[in-house]
Amino acid sequence: MKLPILFTIAALAPLYAEENLIQQKVTPARPIRNELIDYKKHLEIAREVQPLREKRRLTEEQFAAMAAEPGTIVLDARSADKFKLRHIRGAVSLPFTDFTVESLAKVIPEKTTRVLIYCNNNFLGAPVSLVSKAAPASLNISTYIALATYGYTNIYELGPLLDVKTTKLPFEGDEVK
């Protein structure tokens, strides 16, 4: 019994040694500073908004009702090409990669405006326009945290997974025609 374990350890030892050498080469002796990247603050904001985000996840019916109310913005943070193919009717497009203070202010001028968000992971049945992401990489999560980071305080999120063929939410775009 001990022989296979010893053999496995002996076989893996060079791999661990190589990984250690690689880490020494890529891990600097002192931290690399970049005031435009703050992972610690990102995690802090994510933890801070998590309880509120959970309370603001909406059913399909709630989302549709709120979207119809004046002054509410339905924000689609997917890429412009996916938005062009299919989006919830009335949604505005601002790809997540384009979020800046200026671009957000053009689409959502007031930080207290009610903003409804949705993403690929809210829908099944449209594999080209609404490609599912890994659950922890869902755009809803990143979008919610980013909007909160930029100071937006009235964010709501479509919660359930819906089939595009049976949802009551209306779509428009090139794929829908």
Query: CB-based burial of residue 77 (10 Å sphere; 0-12 exposed, 13-18 middle, 19+ buried)?
Result: buried
pLDDT, tens only, 85-96: 999 999 999 999
Query: CB-based burial of residue 98 (10 Å sphere; 0-12 exposed, 13-18 middle, 19+ buried)?
Result: middle
Residue 17: the pLDDT is 66
Q: Which domains does the chain have, with CATH numbers?
A: 34-172 (3.40.250.10)
pLDDT, tens only, 51-76: 999 999 999 999 999 999 999 999 99
Residue 29: the pLDDT is 81
What is the pTM for the complete model shown?
A: 0.83
Beta strands across the sheet bearing 115-118: 57-58, 155-158, 115-118, 73-76, 92-93
Tokens describing residue 81: 């090409």
Distance CA 108, CA 115 (A): 8
125 near 163, Cβ under 8 Å? yes
C-beta neighbour count of 142 within 10 angstroms: 17
Distance CA 62, CA 18 (A): 54
Residue 11: the pLDDT is 63
| DSSP category for residue 69 | S
Distance CA 177, CA 172 (A): 7
pLDDT, tens only, 8-53: 556 666 666 676 666 667 777 888 999 999 999 999 999 999 999 9
Q: What is the mean pLDDT of the chain?
A: 92
Q: Which residue has better confidence, 29 or 132?
A: 132
Give the helix, strand, coil percentages of the chain, each rounded to 5.
45, 15, 40
Q: Please name the residue ranges forming H helices in 93-138.
A: 101-107
